[in-house]
Chains A and B, each alone.
Chain A
Amino acid sequence: MAEGVKPRVKVPKKAAAGDTITIKTLISHKMESGQRKGKDGNLVPRSIINRFTAEFNGTPVIDVTMEPAISTNPYVEFEAVVPEEGEFKFTWYDDDGSVYDTAKKIAIG
């Protein structure tokens, strides 16, 4: 597991049914591209978050393939329609096999 990885998300606490809401997500990660050379002249091995997904009550909302050119602490902002109350689940997949996830509930009202 890479060091200092911590997912953060910002989802409104409630929305009206059918509303489009803005979701902000950020995961602290060094996103080592695999193209840089270290002090010893050797390539620093690639270590990035390669996939990010969000689900709402089990339904996929977004599925992103991420590439090495994405910079440190990838920030993803997107919109989603909320048809009912429920839970957003966010998952990040690391190159080293680690999976980080977090969830946020949203109420209707």
Chain B
Amino acid sequence: MNFKAMTALAGALALSAGLANADADEDTLTINGEIEIVTRTAAPDHVDGLSEVISGWHFRADETQALEMDDFDNPGMLGVEAAMEVWETAEGSEGKACADCHESVEETMKGVRAVYPKYNEAAGEVQTLEMVINDCRTERMGAEAWNYTGADITNMVALISSVSRGMPVNVAIDGPAAEMWEQGKELYYTRTGQLELSCANCHEDNYGNMIRADHLSQGQINGFPTYRLKNAKLNSVHARFKGCVRDTRAETYAPGSPEFVALELYVASRGNGLSVEGPSVRN
């Protein structure tokens, strides 16, 4: 009995020591010495469970954080460069490149990442950047749609994100997007899988804590697409959602499905006020 109490106490001590080290750190993020990134700010009013929203950058080790502070060191910028070539290359039956309509990505795409997912009047639905890119490819270029989580499209999203870095995420949740936002919120708080975990169980109730060897962040998506050191490539939001839902041991929704679009809208809105950070670097 005594022995049991002792181990329980030791366990509690070890746990609290772990917690103390695992909190979000106090570093500040400036990219290339010029783009200042807001990585902590007051939570938007529509987020009940958080008082402060914190970028996932704060939950990573100093070495990983440093990779994002200079574009040369950021491996995600390789994807951006690759997409820059695609931007200028004509493709499809219309013989058009992105640049033929949208010209310079730095000018025309500035601020775009910050407001997506967004309700599209013509399509009558909430669209993610991936959906818009694929619409452009099939409707205007006469090219084939890209795989929703493939390297081509994720690189393109990274390129479009990169020109908005430093601008605050500002996703609209009212008007025609409200219905889908509610659906996304519902999904966020619904427990799934054999482990019966909702997004909120880890990313709202336990951010900053360790889940075995993993350091839980708030699950903010302002830094997507994210270059992950574990798989050495850029990862899209839906690919990450899929991985997370899978880890609850559930059957996942498909990337690009209405459920994930709703969830992306909701999760993006939880980061309203943080800076666009993609392509970010995480482990």
Nearest-neighbour CB distance to chain B for A28, whole angstroms, equals 5
Q: Is A73 an interface residue (CB 8 A)?
A: yes
Interface residues of B in 60-93 (CB under 8 A from A): 72-73, 75, 78, 81-82
In this complex, what residue of B is CB-closest to A25? B72
Contact string against A for B residues 12-56, beta-carbon threshold 8 Å, 1 for contact and 0 otherwise: 000000000000000000000000000000000000000000000
B72 touches which one: A6, A26, A28 (CB < 8 A)? A26
Given contacts A71-B232, A72-B232, A73-B232, contact A24 B73 (CB under 8 A): yes
- How far, in angstroms, from A8 to B232 measured CA to CA in the complex? 18
Q: Would B75 and A73 count as touching, CB distance under 8 A?
A: yes
User: Per DSSP, are chain B's interface residues mostly helix, strand or loop, or mixed?
Assistant: loop
Q: Which residue of A lies closest to B232 (CB)?
A: A72
Contact code string A68-96 (vs B, CB < 8 Å = 1, else 0): 00011101000000000000000000000
Main secondary structure of the interface of A (DSSP, over half): strand
Q: In this assembly, does A4 line the interface, its C-beta being within 8 Å of a C-beta of chain B? A: yes
Q: Which residues of A contact B75 (CB under 8 A)?
A: 73, 75
Count how many pairs of residues, one from A and one from B, have CB atoms less than 8 Å apart in the complex: 15
A1-40 contacts to B (CB < 8 Å): 4, 6, 8, 10, 24, 26, 28
Residue numbers in A under 8 Å from B72 (CB-CB) = 8, 10, 24, 26
* Residues in A neighbouring B81, C-beta threshold 8 A: 6
Cβ of B78 and Cβ of A28 under 8 Å apart? yes
Interface string of B227-243 (1 = CB under 8 A from A): 00000100000000000
Shortest Cβ distance from residue B31 to the other chain A in the assembled complex, whole angstroms: 15
Task: Return B77 CB to nearest CB of chain A, in Å.
Answer: 9
CB distance from B205 to the nearest CB of A (A): 35
B interface, CB within 8 angstroms of A: 72-73, 75, 78, 81-82, 232
- A-B interface, 5 closest residue pairs, ranked by CB to CB distance from nearest: A72-B232, A10-B72, A28-B78, A24-B72, A73-B75
15 A–B contacts from the bound complex (CB under 8 Å): A4-B82, A6-B81, A8-B72, A10-B72, A24-B72, A24-B73, A26-B72, A28-B78, A71-B232, A72-B232, A73-B75, A73-B78, A73-B232, A75-B73, A75-B75
